[in-house]
Amino acid sequence: MTVESDLGVRIERNAPSKLYPFLRYFRGFDGVPTVRKLFGPQTARALRSLKVEFFSARFGYMGTSDVDGHLLISSHHLKDSEFRTVYLDIVHELCHVKQFRSGKALFYPKLSYVDAPSEIEAYRLTIEEGRRIGMTNRQLVDYLKVEWITPAEHRRLARRCGLVWASDKARPHRKRIRR
């Protein structure tokens, strides 16, 4: 759709995105037990049909399009972040792909990010995968830390994902000293 204005300019409003097959860049995810649990017998088909779009902004990590369910990935994140972080982020986003394809909402504008059902489900799945690959509780808590949530939201998200926060560990009760 081209739009003209009284300013003497024309703007093509439907610029195409360059989408690539997911499997061109990400192989072996069809064998990951957590991903197989997510998509079931349709895992190979789900990943074959998935598209990915790379963007070059230095901010941002990954996301899932709420228009057509394709993945959006920062090429800087892909290149510069620790391998396990990228791996877990892909698992997280695959959960959002499944949610999208099931007709579930991905975004909840009236809720905090850490209270959104879509995020809680995706992070729980990601934490399950992190445990499966041998990450420690501390590493998983650190993985959940992102700059757009507060420390209180970070603690709440960790608890919702079944992670024990250092200050949440059971402390022995002190006995009252009788005099």
147: pLDDT strictly greater than 50: yes
171: pLDDT strictly greater than 60: no
Q: What is the chain's mean pLDDT, rounded? A: 88
Alpha-helical (H) ranges within 32-116 are: 33-39, 43-49, 75-80, 83-101
Positive/negative CA dihedral, 79, 84, 90, 93: negative
pLDDT of residue 113: 86
- State the Cα–Cα distance between residues 25 and 51, nearest whole angstrom: 10
Among the listed ranges 34-48, 51-65, 67-81, 164-178, which one has the minimum average pLDDT value? 164-178
177: pLDDT strictly greater than 60: no
Among the listed ranges 43-52, 60-69, 85-94, 167-176, which one has the minimum average pLDDT value? 167-176
Dump pLDDT digits (tens) for 108-140.
889 888 889 999 999 999 999 999 999 999 999
- State the Cα–Cα distance between residues 80 and 86, nearest whole angstrom: 9
- Phi, psi at 167, each rounded to 5°: -80, -10
Residue length of the chain: 179
pLDDT of residue 8: 83
